[in-house]
Amino acid sequence: AIFSGAIMFDVLLTTCALLALHGALDWDVLRWRRGLILLALGFGLGILTKGPVVLLDAGFALVFGPWWSETARTNKRRWYAMTGLAVLGGAVIALAWAVPAAIMGGEKYADAIFLRQTVDRMANSFAHRRPVWWYFMVLPAMALPWTLAVRAPWRAWRDSFHISKSARFATAWALPAFVAFCLVSGKQPHYLLPLLPALALYLANLLGADGARLRGRLFGALLLVVGIALAAFPYLAAHAQDIAPLARLIDESRLTPEFLHVVAGIWPVWGAVTACIGLLVLCVRGAHASLRALALASTAAAALGMLALAQGVGPYVDVSVAATRIKLDQDSGRPIAHLAWHHGLFDFPGRLTQPLPKLDFGELRAWCTAHPDGEIVTFYSRYPITAKPDLELPYRFGFIRFWRASDLLAMPWPAPGQAPAMDLDDATEE
C-alpha cells in the first residue's frame, strides 16, 4: 500500500498474478472449475493491466506444476490442458477490450497495443536498458531487511525443497521468471514486484526451520547511516559551492543546479526520524531479533522515504498548471502541439477532451508557419530553441516551456545538420 502510488500499475499487476496463482493452488486441491475461473481472470486482467508479462509473473508455477504439486504429477494431461484453457480464457478477456479499442483507435493505436507495448520493450528496449546482472544488484535492496537479517544453516535452505510444498511452489513461481526478466533488455526495480510475494513465502517457510533466526543489527546500522545521510544532504546541496571537495565532485558528476535546488528543499527531519528508527533497532532489547520489529522498522523507513520524496520532489512533478493552460488553449480553439512525445502526461490532470498533437523538431517550423497564432509546449530541453518562452514552469530537474508560434518563427533557425538527429521515440516508458 505504501508504494502503490509510486510504482504505477505494478501493484495492480501483482494482484492479478496472485489471483491467477490462487487458481493454481485450487487445482492442487482438485478444485478444477474454480481454479480455471481464477486463472483466466488473473491472466485476462493482468494482460489488460500491463500486457502478456503476467504470463511470466504467474505462468511458470503452472509450467513446473509437477515439481511442487502431487495433483499435477498424477494428472499431467489434465493439468496442462486446463493451463491452455486458462491462457485462452485470459486472452478472450483481454481481446474483448483490445479488438474494439484497436478498431476505434486506428492502425497506429492497434500497432501500439498489440506489438510495441510488449515486443519492443522485451526484445529491444530503448528505455531502461540494463545489463543482465542488474537485477542481482537490485533485488537484495528490494528485499530489505530480510537480506541482512535472515540467518539459516545450509541444510535448512537445502532441505526446504524436499520438505515443503510451499517452498517448491514459491521457487517454481519466482526463479524462472526472475531469470527471464534478467534476459529482457529493459529493467526497472518495480518490474520484480509480482515476484516479491514468492520471496516472502519462501523466507517465511525458511524461518520455520531448525536453526533459522533473525539478526537485524546490520539493518539497524544501515538505517542509522542512511538517516544521517538523508538529514545532511539538504545542507550539503545548499552549500555545495562552499565546500571545495564537494564542488569538484558535483562538477565531475554533472549534477545540475536544478537538481541541487530540489535536494536542498527536502526537510532534514525525514532523515533524523529514519536514524532514530535505526537506533531503536540497535538499542532496544530484542528488537533486532523480532520479526514484528524489523517489519515495522522497514515499513516505517520506506514510508519516510516516500514522504521525503513527496515533500521535496512533489512540487516539481506537479503538471496541473501546464495542463490547465493546454486545456484553456484547446477550449478556446487556439492551436497547440507538444514538441516530441509527451506520454499523455497532461491528459488526466488537465481533463483534456482532445488529443495533444506531437511534433518532431523537423516539423516544428512548418507547423508554426501554418499556425502563427498557436503555441508549442515541451518538457525536453535539448532542442536548439533560442526564443524566450512565454511561460516556464519547473518540472523534475528541468522545465516545461510554452512558446508562441510567432516568437519561434522570429528566432534564428539552426541549419539542418545542427538539429537533433532524432526525437525521443514512443517506446520510452514513464
> 84: which 3 cell numbers?
491452455
pLDDT for position 428? 42
pLDDT for position 419? 59
Q: Which of 167, 201, 235 is the last residue of a domain?
A: 201
- Contact residues for 140 (Cβ-Cβ < 8 A; gap 6+): 147
Tell me, yes or no, whether 210 lies in a domain: no
> 374: which 3 cell numbers?
498557436
pLDDT for position 3? 56
Tell me, yes or no, whether 329 lies in a domain: yes
Tell me, yes or no, whether 256 lies in a domain: yes
Shared domain check, 91 and 224: no
Shared domain check, 255 and 235: yes
What string of pLDDT tens digits covers the 430 residues of the chain?
A: 555 565 568 889 999 999 999 999 999 999 999 999 999 999 999 999 988 899 999 999 999 999 999 999 999 999 999 999 999 999 999 999 988 988 887 777 777 777 666 655 555 555 677 888 999 999 998 898 988 888 888 888 877 777 788 999 999 999 999 999 999 888 888 899 999 999 999 998 888 877 888 889 999 999 999 999 999 999 888 887 778 787 788 777 777 777 888 888 899 999 999 999 999 999 999 999 999 999 999 999 999 998 998 898 888 888 999 999 999 999 999 999 999 888 888 988 989 889 899 988 888 889 999 999 999 999 988 888 888 999 999 888 788 999 999 999 888 877 665 556 544 444 343 4
130/205 Cα distance (integer angstroms): 32
pLDDT for position 271? 94
Number of other residues whose CB lies within 10 A of the CB of residue 398: 15
Shared domain check, 295 and 341: no
Shared domain check, 169 and 50: yes
Tell me, yes or no, whether 142 lies in a domain: no
Domain count, the chain: 3
pLDDT for position 378? 92
Shared domain check, 232 and 84: no
Tell me, yes or no, whether 1 lies in a domain: no
Shared domain check, 164 and 91: yes
Shared domain check, 348 and 293: no
Shared domain check, 51 and 29: yes
pLDDT for position 424? 46
271/227 Cα distance (integer angstroms): 4
410/274 Cα distance (integer angstroms): 53
26/10 Cα distance (integer angstroms): 24
Shared domain check, 197 and 54: yes
390/375 Cα distance (integer angstroms): 9
Tell me, yes or no, whether 139 lies in a domain: no
Give me the domain span that covers residue 60: 10-130+154-175+191-201
Instruction: Give the long-range contacts of residues 287-295, CB within 8 A, separation 24 or more.
Output: 287/216, 287/220, 288/149, 288/214, 288/215, 288/216, 288/217, 288/219, 288/220, 289/213, 289/214, 289/215, 289/216, 290/214, 290/216, 291/207, 291/214, 293/216, 294/145, 294/146, 294/149, 294/214, 294/216, 294/219
Q: Which of 265, 298, 316 is the last residue of a domain?
A: 316
Tell me, yes or no, whether 4 lies in a domain: no
91/95 Cα distance (integer angstroms): 6
* pTM as predicted: 0.79
83/76 Cα distance (integer angstroms): 10
Shared domain check, 77 and 15: yes
pLDDT for position 213? 87
For strand 336-339 and strand 375-378, is the pairing parallel, antiparallel, or unpaired? Answer: parallel
- Contact residues for 15 (Cβ-Cβ < 8 A; gap 6+): none
Q: Are 207 and 214 in contact (CB under 8 A)?
A: yes
Q: Are 389 and 397 in contact (CB under 8 A)?
A: no
Residue 103 — left, alpha, or beta (φ > 0 → left; ψ -120 to 50 → alpha)? alpha
Shared domain check, 379 and 279: no
Burial of 353 (0-12, 13-18, 19+ CB in 10 A): exposed
Shared domain check, 293 and 382: no
**Which H, E and C letters describe the chain, residue by residue?**
CCCCCCCCCHHHHHHHHHHHHHHHHHHHCCCHHHHHHHHHHHHHHHHHHHCCHHHHHHHHHHHCHHHHCHHHHHCHHHHHHHHHHHHHHHHHHHHHHHHHHHHHHCHHHHHHHHHHHHHHHHHCCCCCECCCCHHHHHHHHHCCCHHHHEECCHHHHHHHHHHCHHHHHHHHHHHHHHHHHHHCCECCHHHHHHHHHHHHHHHHHHHCCCCCEECCHHHHHHHHHHHHHHHHHHHHHHCHHHCHHHHHHHHHHCCCHHHHHHHHCCCCHHHHHHHHHHHHHHHCCCHHHCHHHHHHHHHHHHHHHHHHHHHHCHHHCCCHHHHHHHHHHHHHCCCEEEECCCCCCCHHHHCCCCCCCEECHHHHHHHHHHCCCCEEEECCCCCCCCCCCCEEEEECCEEEEEEEHHHHHHCCCCCHHHCCCCCCCCCCCC
Tell me, yes or no, whether 158 lies in a domain: yes
Q: Which of 287, 316, 345 is the last residue of a domain?
A: 316
